[in-house]
Amino acid sequence: MGFVKQHREPASALAEASTERRSFEVLAGELQHADPTVRRWAARDLTDCPEASKALVDRLQREEDNSVREVILSTLTTHGDDIAVGGLVECLRSENVSLRNEAIEAMKQLPKEVAPIMQGLLDDEDSDVRIFAVNVLESLRHPEVESWLIAVIEKDPELNVCATAVDLLGEVGTSAARGPLGRLKARYSGEPYIQFAADVALKRLGGD
């Protein structure tokens, strides 16, 4: 009777697949370790695991060690998927000032990924989130930055949001911003800071 050879996956392929599965599970578990050094290395090594964004986002909101948060944010910007971006947006609503600022800096590194949600952030019901969104625009390097800022100073009802936008508009704006800046001055004719900031912006833009 002839020997019937059974079909088997190559041992190396099976070992590799098993290692990959264990690697993510182990690293995700190490994100919860009591030792921040272990958590930091886990966050770094999860750069190679595209499925890791949810575990990283979940840890980010609870992480108290600055060095671990820094690596988590770096890894999330490397992934740059919807879960990563959504997690960064949620950080804008945090009471932790450091976490908010770190999230803003991380979002500045993701212009293509953040651009599709920027209008939603600028329309957010929370005026603080709208201010943070303007802060993200500072380094976003996107062709719509000026248009977004003009829309803010034309439509946003909050003085502080408009003040943040007008400061940036003076740096990145063109002649297209002159009319909106003039209308902003008229709308806030009794607000010295808006008058000052708009005048500075107009001067930078060659206005009078």
- Co-location of 150 and 204 in the same domain: yes
- Co-location of 46 and 86 in the same domain: yes
Q: Does residue 32 lie within any of the structural domains? A: no
Q: Does residue 191 lie within any of the structural domains? A: yes
pLDDT at 19: 39
pLDDT at 140: 83
Give 10-residue mean pLDDT values along the chain (208 residues): 40 39 82 95 93 96 94 96 97 94 94 94 96 92 91 96 95 93 96 96 80
- Co-location of 80 and 150 in the same domain: no
- Co-location of 129 and 191 in the same domain: yes
List the structure tokens of 155.
């439509």
pLDDT, tens digit, 9 for 90 and up, residues 183-197: 999 999 999 999 999
Q: What is the mean pLDDT of the chain?
A: 88
User: What is the C-alpha radius of gyration for the chain, rounded to an integer number of angstroms?
Assistant: 24
- Co-location of 139 and 176 in the same domain: yes
List the structure tokens of 63.
């992480």
pLDDT at 14: 33
pLDDT, tens digit, 9 for 90 and up, residues 96-129: 999 999 999 999 999 999 999 999 999 999 999 9
Sequence-distant (6+) residues with CB within 8 A of 44 are 71, 74, 75
Please state the domain count of the chain: 2
Sequence-distant (6+) residues with CB within 8 A of 61 are 87, 90, 91, 94, 99
Domain of residue 191, residue span: 118-208
pLDDT at 1: 41
Distance of alpha carbon 26 from alpha carbon 33, whole angstroms: 11
Distance of alpha carbon 73 from alpha carbon 75, whole angstroms: 5
pLDDT at 71: 97
Task: Report residue 61: phi and psi, to 5°.
Answer: -65, -20
- Co-location of 105 and 122 in the same domain: no
